[in-house]
Structure 1
Amino acid sequence: MLVDDVIALVPSIPGRRALLGLAGAPAAGKSTLARRLVDAVNARLGADTAAYVPMDGFHLANAQLDRLGLRGRKGAPETFDVDGYVHLLRRLRATRERPVYAPGFDRDLDEPVAAALAVLPSARLVVTEGNYLADDEPGWSEVRDLLDELWFVEAPRRLRERRLLHRHVHGGRTQEEAIAFIAASERPNATRAESGRPHCSRVVTPEEDS
């Protein structure tokens, strides 16, 4: 069971938190799986033993994307603050004396929200997820060295794109706009995310028994 394997990470890193990363294409089910794992660990080992910190909080704000001319590529590697994300991972590994605050992402606002998440000193495991955790490019390549394990979350393209269509329409795009954005941005992002699959120690699906 996936949860048993995650729980085994908790006592295996003496003196600091364990960090588990979930990489994968957009809408593969990374956040769903991450939350399930965190909830299951906390149910077994006690509240706040595990915490969930997604990479999505490091989206650049829409104002910055507009300044850079990247609004149409939102979700691509260059539309994230990768240095900020790497710095947070280092803090999560090093600090257990006081809470570590992390940004979240509000899908209704379509914007990151500063200090929306808190990793408490009691947390012995952090599950983080994002498209590019296994990426080889500068900045992103530092992420792997900060994770104790990195898994690749896989789902069929048709399922992923159905989820993306629903997500973007719910977010305010017309169906035609959503389809065009998926073709122009989400598919290239998925190809980029999938290129990191060989760097992951395990391939999982959100439907696996957790």
Structure 2
Amino acid sequence: METDDSARTDRAPSLADLARDAWSLTADRPRTLLGIAGPPGAGKSTFARALVEAVGEGAAYLPLDGFHLSNDQLERLALTARKGSEPSFDVRGYVALLTRVLDDTGHDIYVPDYDRTLHGPVSARHRVPPSARLVVTEGNYLACDLPGWRDARRLMGECWYVRAPAEVRQLRLIERKLAGGRTADGAAAWVATNDGPNGDLVEKSRERCDRIVSTIGMDMFNYRP
């Protein structure tokens, strides 16, 4: 297991390098899952989508956020103030879809997502087509040593951990909450009492990942192979 990108080469791998490494996971199987884990605000979603674009036609995107419980269910479970925490996801539903993605390679598979405008999950936003041999799935808790998440981790060919400095993550998270309509004080409080503890839990899963990736300074936009 690698502990740092720079341990292998004199430079950090580029997006093109990582895309080649990701595609190599499909060499001996019809389809494989690559997990992208990491704490809130690390850049997992941006990185995963850029990786899929870099790989091209043979890759598809599957975010964990589509399995976030609805606001009604969060209220029922008294988890409204802990939205985004580990128990606020339907991990069994997520594992069921990952299993189907690996087993059913002959049909379109539709994938839910989370809508930050609606503040809730939406169905069938993404699609895994039969041509997809690499499915990149990303989310905070993919490598956590917890019930349900262990099952998800076992289905993945590899799981990579995205890291970013704490101050960068905090700035991104506050900006996200401000964009979602919270006040400055409300955004700071949410990050301190919810995203912070969530990130602490995710950090403990780092050693269960196969590779650690830093996206700071990586050009993940307008990628051209």
TM range, smaller chain? over 0.9
The CA distance in 2 between the partners of 1:12 and 1:170, in whole Å, is 43
The CA distance in 2 between the partners of 1:130 and 1:3, in whole Å, is 18
Give 5+ residue unaligned stretches, structure 2.
1-16, 221-225
1:86 to 2:95 alignment: yes
1:34 to 2:34 alignment: no
Could you list the structure 1 runs, at least 4 aligned residues long, displaced by more than 2 angstroms after superposition.
Answer: 207-210
The CA distance in 1 between the partners of 2:20 and 2:44, in whole Å, is 18
1:173 to 2:182 alignment: yes
Corresponding position of 1:202? 211
The CA distance in 2 between the partners of 1:11 and 1:95, in whole Å, is 18
**1:84-142 CA distances to partner (integer Å, 9 max, x unpaired)?**
00001000111111111111111111110012211111111100000000101111111
Q: Is the 8 A contact 1:17 1:126 kept in 2?
A: yes
1:12 to 2:28 alignment: yes
- Map 1:33-112 → 2, pairs under 5 A: 33-42=47-56, 47=57, 49-112=58-121
- Map 1:118-133 → 2, pairs under 5 A: 118-133=127-142
Which of 13, 32, 36 is 1:22 aligned to?
Answer: 36
Give 5+ residue unaligned stretches, structure 1.
none
TM-score calculated relative to the size of structure 2: 0.87
The CA distance in 2 between the partners of 1:6 and 1:97, in whole Å, is 22
1:155 to 2:157 alignment: no
The CA distance in 2 between the partners of 1:12 and 1:187, in whole Å, is 39
**1:169-202 CA distances to partner (integer Å, 9 max, x unpaired)?**
1001111111111111000000001110000011
Alpha-carbon deviation of 1:12? 2.9
The CA distance in 1 between the partners of 2:155 and 2:25, in whole Å, is 14
SS in 1 for 2:26: helix
Alpha-carbon deviation of 1:10? 2.6
The CA distance in 1 between the partners of 2:171 and 2:199, in whole Å, is 14
Q: Is the 8 A contact 1:27 1:163 kept in 2?
A: yes
1:189 to 2:198 alignment: yes
Deviates more, 1:101-110 or 1:153-162: 101-110
Percent identical residues:
50
The CA distance in 1 between the partners of 2:163 and 2:28, in whole Å, is 26
- Aligned residues: CA RMSD: 1.2
The CA distance in 2 between the partners of 1:209 and 1:104, in whole Å, is 24
Size of the aligned set, in residue pairs, is 203
Which of 117, 122, 134 is 1:113 aligned to?
Answer: 122
The CA distance in 1 between the partners of 2:51 and 2:102, in whole Å, is 19
